[in-house]
């Protein structure tokens, strides 16, 4: 029974990712880091501890299963935040991920019996972001670039490491070298 539920959740996630892949092409000008203001956003969130390659798959399965049970939702790129104290350097088994999908304001609650999923408002304000192109395993130089940019502009990071998956696994037959991920941090002036 558990295997059947997991396969069903994976199928839902795959269909959602495929739908997201049909969005317009990503503007590669985002490869240059930038600072901008982003409004708060209502999100459907699943928290999971562990390596994103395994914990993330299960979390996104639960997330999409719940998401498509809600009225008035439209597929948007999924996101994830990590509360890792030293993101990218400590053991992946210790990462705590917050996997999320944007919700319309019209969604005010979850159906009865839903467990492991919650509605939150993700605060933003000023953010620094950059587009990473390629596999997740090659993000380190992009992360270093955005960190350097933040410091050079006189800002400090005040939020969690966040990724928005514009193109990724399950989005058609996209090879890893074509993945598009926005890496984002909440920032404030020093």
d(CA 181, CA 80): 11
How confident is the model over 107-123, as pLDDT tens digits?
999 999 999 999 999 99
pLDDT of residue 83: 84
Contact 131, 26 (CB under 8 A): yes
pLDDT of residue 93: 86
- At 37, list the tokens: 């203001």
- At 99, list the tokens: 């996997």
pLDDT of residue 17: 45
pLDDT of residue 5: 38
Look up residue 51 and give its DSSP letter. Answer: -
- At 181, list the tokens: 């991920």
pLDDT of residue 7: 34
pLDDT of residue 19: 44
The stretches in the chain having pLDDT less than 50 are: 1-24
d(CA 181, CA 131): 6
Please, what are the domains in the chain?
2-189 (3.20.80.10)
By the 10 Å C-beta count (0-12 exposed, 13-18 middle, 19+ buried), 177 is classed as: exposed
E-strand ranges in the chain read: 34-38, 41-49, 79-82, 96-102, 118-122, 125-133, 155-157, 161-167, 180-189
d(CA 20, CA 190): 37
pLDDT of residue 142: 95
How confident is the model over 51-83, as pLDDT tens digits?
888 999 999 999 999 999 999 899 899 999 998
Look up residue 138 and give its DSSP letter. Answer: G
């Amino acid at each position: 029974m558990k295997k059947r539920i997991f396969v069903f959740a994976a199928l839902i996630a795959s269909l959602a990712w495929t739908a997201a892949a049909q969005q317009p092409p990503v503007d590669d000008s985002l490869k240059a880091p930038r600072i901008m203001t982003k409004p708060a956003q209502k999100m459907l969130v699943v928290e999971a501890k562990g390596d994103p390659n395994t914990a993330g798959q299960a979390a996104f399965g639960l997330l999409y299963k719940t998401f498509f049970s809600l009225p008035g939702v439209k597929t948007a790129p999924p996101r994830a935040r990590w509360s890792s104290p030293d993101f990218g350097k400590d053991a992946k088994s210790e990462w705590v991920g917050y996997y999320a999908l944007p919700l319309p304001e019209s969604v005010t609650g979850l159906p009865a019996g839903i467990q492991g999923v919650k509605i939150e408002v993700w605060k933003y304000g000023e953010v620094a972001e950059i587009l990473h192109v390629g596999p997740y395993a090659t993000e380190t130089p992009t992360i270093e670039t955005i960190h350097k940019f933040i410091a050079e502009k006189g800002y400090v990071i005040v939020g969690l490491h966040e990724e928005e998956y514009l193109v990724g696994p399950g989005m058609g037959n996209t090879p890893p070298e074509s993945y598009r991920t926005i890496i984002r941090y909440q920032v404030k002036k020093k």
